Structure 1
Amino acid sequence: MPSSLTNYLQWTESYNLPATIDELPDGAHLLWIGPKRVNQVILYCHGGAYMMSCSGNVMTFCRYLQVELEQRNIHVGIAILAYKLLPENPFPAQLREAKAAVDTLLKAGAKPSNITLAGASAGGNLVLQILTHILHPLPSVDPLPEMHFRGVFLMSPWVSMKEDRDLPQHLLEAKHQYDSMSSLYGRLACRTLLKDIPDAQIPFVDPLEAPQDRFDGISRLAESVFVMWGEVECLREGQRRLCEKYIEPYHPRVELYEQVSGIHCQPIWDSSWMNNVGEPRIVEWFARLYTSAKEEVM
């Protein structure tokens, strides 16, 4: 499997865009989509169960979002965190690299209030890990001070991995019945992620195993939260529970969106098929988010 860096270099060449790369202390990278901008920036964490590199489809989706915002006179930098992968780099390696990514953006001049944390699938899970680490620091990772981000965007966030790891096969197959991700892959992903994590630390990666007040304080960490999933995706039950029980009670500005007939990470697939690329609801949310940021400055 080609690395995220290899995929990025091929993708930038095919799109005739500059390849701008920041190397992080632990060997991960920030891969910039289009111009490097830190006055308004999206830190994007890619999916793939922490086992797969970032694909060109993800980069195409990010570029589409960027161009759509430019057409609204909103100019954002998008930095994809290319983290190191399982099984060679078990938890909390990716959290440590995400913390380094935030530090790097801040050192480059970004203000927390102009950074949006975004992620799909495992990337959405990593965003939740960042928020959890701020509220409940993991001793083995340097702490992140409390800060107020512009927003939090979660597409099909990966949750309920402990439950899915232990679920009887016929029930797991029922959850995956209409999704593109097979139940066998889903089980493998859950087992691979959790096998080296002590039981006491599982709530750091699977928020549904934590007390329901886990994200009490999230309103101090982000101006707005957007969570979306597909109507027929395999993780939808856990994603609904995450929002209804863990996030909505603790933040006044949470927008939920269930994409009709959508599968896991449907907008990423759409970007590869060039069919309804970007999902307008996503673009609209980011546009509102950064328009309000401009108004605050004025």
Structure 2
Amino acid sequence: MMSGSQPAPSAANLAFFGSKVDNTVFAAISRLFTTPFRWNHWNGAPVLYKDVLFAAIRAMLSNLTIAQSRYLNKSTSETYQDFCKAISQEPKTVKLESGTTTAHWIGNKNADVVILFLHGGGYTQPCTPQHMQYFHRLVTDLNKLSDGTPSISVLLLAYTLAPEAQFPIQLKQAVSMLSYLLNEAGKSPMDIMITGDSAGGGLILSLLSHLLHPHPDIPKLSISMPLRAAFLYSPWVSFDTSHDSYTKNDVKDTLVPDILRKWAGSYLGTVDRETDPGVVVGGNNYSEPLLADASWWEGMHNIVKDMWIWAGENEVFLDSLRDFGAKFSDGWKVGGGAEESIKLEFGKNDAHIGPIMDVMLQYKEKSETQLGLEEWLKVRLA
């Protein structure tokens, strides 16, 4: 079902859509049956299961329009309703600004600590059920601790997707929801963690930028002390697809450069929604964090107490995230932040949003990265 106001594909488009689904299936089958010929010079994902599925995901992204890919999925709010039924939780929703800004609780809304979560999806796609499953498991397991650790829950922002809405609308909605937690829900900054994956991770960095350097088109939000922590999974920090890792990791990851450029252009409102601009223009320090100099991040330790930024060594974002991590870390430390309060981690043999991707691929056992993040969070909750 379509999310947002964009119409569903026409009958003709759906027929064409069917042929593109066939292309996706063919890509997966081809990847599987060519495995013996690639074995001695393997350059794909480290596990055959992932290699085949990643090929299918790349083919699907390359073959579907935004409208068609939306047709495959329910909206974030609809998915949340289904998710609540599956876990026997009563849906709990926050609506602000006459219903234009919406967020959904995963867990107890009266928990001691709230994680404000901004989901990925290239700013054009809704939150998946697997994102919700991942964070539900995370907070459920953390809430089992019996050492006096504060209780924790998640507030998922169902921000308006591009191309129906362009930046900075999504940032404005994130600021509004954080303001709600601080000024209406009675939370102090130290009761709040913030997190996001991919595009959502980029939006978290936009939010942090706004708190440090208020965006001229968005109401200023002042905080009396730093937020408790921020943790980001493969944040989308650059719309430039010329980094070497786009070539080195092109068949190890799930993302496709021309689709990323199309999504970025749709988010910024600089191109037609289904046009690859070739080079994305119009980004700034708020929307494209890698464009900011290290000095931009000086003083960030006054905005958030601890930072964890994760990237996979097999993802196309790798080079941009290494560059961003160096800039951010330099600004953090020069501005007076403690070096031990920021952690940059690169997952060996991991692709884009590896910890969440493992849930999407239905792995039951927790990965080393998932367990490592839990340990990091336990320290920040103590």
Match of 2:155 among 76, 79, 85: 79
Please tell me whether residue 152 in structure 1 is matched to residue 240 in structure 2.
no
- 5 Å-filtered alignment, 1:41-56, equals 41-56=114-129
Partner of 1:295: none
Aligned counterparts of 2:238 and 2:229: Cα–Cα separation in 1: 23
Q: Which of 55, 79, 84 does residue 7 from structure 1 map onto?
A: 79
Kindly indicate whether the alpha-carbon contact (under 8 Å) linking 2:270 and 2:282 is maintained by their aligned counterparts in 1: no
For residue 72 of structure 1, what is the amino acid of its counterpart?
L
From the superposition, tell whether residues 265 and 201 of structure 1 become closer, same or farther in structure 2 (CA, over 3 Å).
Answer: closer
User: 2:166 matched to 1:94?
Assistant: no
Residue 348 (structure 2) pairs with residue 260 (structure 1): yes
Unmatched 5+ stretches in structure 1: 292-298
Distance in 2 of aligned mates of 1:181 and 1:189: 12
Distance 2:127 2:205 in 1: 19
Equivalent residue number for residue 61 of structure 1: 134
Which consecutive unaligned segments of at least 5 residues does structure 2 have?
Answer: 1-69, 272-279
RMSD after superposition = 2.1
1:201-216, aligned counterparts within 5 Å? 202-216=284-298
Q: Secondary structure of 1:116's match?
A: strand
**8 Å contact 1:47–1:120 — kept in the other structure?**
yes
Cα distance in 2 for residues equivalent to 1:193 and 1:12: 29
Please state whether the residue corresponding to 1:153 is helix, strand or coil.
strand
For 1:125, the aligned partner's letter is G
Bigger shift: 208-217 or 181-190? 181-190
Distance 1:211 1:256, change over 3 A: closer
Counterpart-to-counterpart distance in 1, 2:249 and 2:360: 24
In structure 1, the residue corresponding to 2:125 is in which secondary structure? coil
Q: In 1, distance between residues paired with 2:315 and 2:282?
A: 29
Structure-2 separation of matches of 1:127 and 1:38: 22
4+ long deviations beyond 6 Å:
197-200
Which of residues 250, 274, 283 is equivalent to 1:176?
Answer: 250
For the 8 Å contact 2:293–2:327, the answer to whether it is kept is: no
Give the stretch that moved more between structures: 274-283 or 261-270: 274-283
Offset at residue 6 of structure 1 (A): 0.2
Aligned equivalent of 1:138: 215
1:56-93, CA deviations, whole angstroms, 9 ceiling, x for partnerless residues?
Answer: 11000101110120122342021011100000100000
- Equivalent in the alignment of 2:7: none
Query: How much does 1:200 deviate?
Result: 7.2
Q: Percent identity?
A: 27
Q: 1:35 to 1:200 in 2, by over 3 A?
A: same
| 1:38 and 1:105 in contact (8 A); partners too | no
Q: 1:177: Cα distance to partner?
A: 3.1
* Structure (1 or 2) with the larger CA radius of gyration: 2
For 2:91 and 2:237, locate their aligned partners in 1 and report how far apart those are by CA, in whole Å. Answer: 33
Aligned residues: 287
Is the 2:108–2:153 Cα contact (8 Å) retained in structure 1? yes
**TM-score, with length taken from structure 2:** 0.71
- Aligned residue in 2 for 1:219: 301
Which secondary structure state, in structure 2, belongs to the residue aligned with residue 105 of structure 1?
helix
Look up the SS of the partner of 1:187 in the other structure: helix
In 2: Cα distance, 1:30 partner to 1:152 partner:
18
1:185 to 255, 259, 267: 259
Alpha-carbon contact 2:118-2:200 (below 8 Å) kept:
yes
Question: What is the rounded CA distance, in whole Å, between the counterparts of 1:176 and 1:189 in structure 2?
Answer: 18
Q: Helix, strand or coil for the counterpart of 2:285?
A: helix
Give 2:357's match in structure 1, choosing from 254, 265, 269. Answer: 269
User: Any idea what the Cα deviations from partners look like across 1:165-211, whole Å, max 9, x if unmatched?
Assistant: xx39x984445331012233222222222343997762211121122
User: Given that residues 231 and 308 in structure 2 are in contact (C-alpha distance below 8 angstroms), is that contact kept between their aligned partners in structure 1?
Assistant: yes
Alpha-carbon spacing, 1:144–1:175, altered in 2? closer, same or farther (3 Å): farther
Asked if residue 24 in structure 1 is aligned to residue 96 in structure 2, the reply is yes
Secondary structure, counterpart of 1:177 in structure 2: coil
- Of 110, 120, 127, the residue aligned with 2:197 is 120
Matched residue type, 1:44: F
Preserved contact between residue 167 and residue 269 of structure 2 (Cα < 8 Å): no
> Which one-letter code corresponds to 1:150 in the other structure?
R
* Post-superposition CA distance 1:115-142 (Å, at most 9, x none): 0111111111111011111111111111
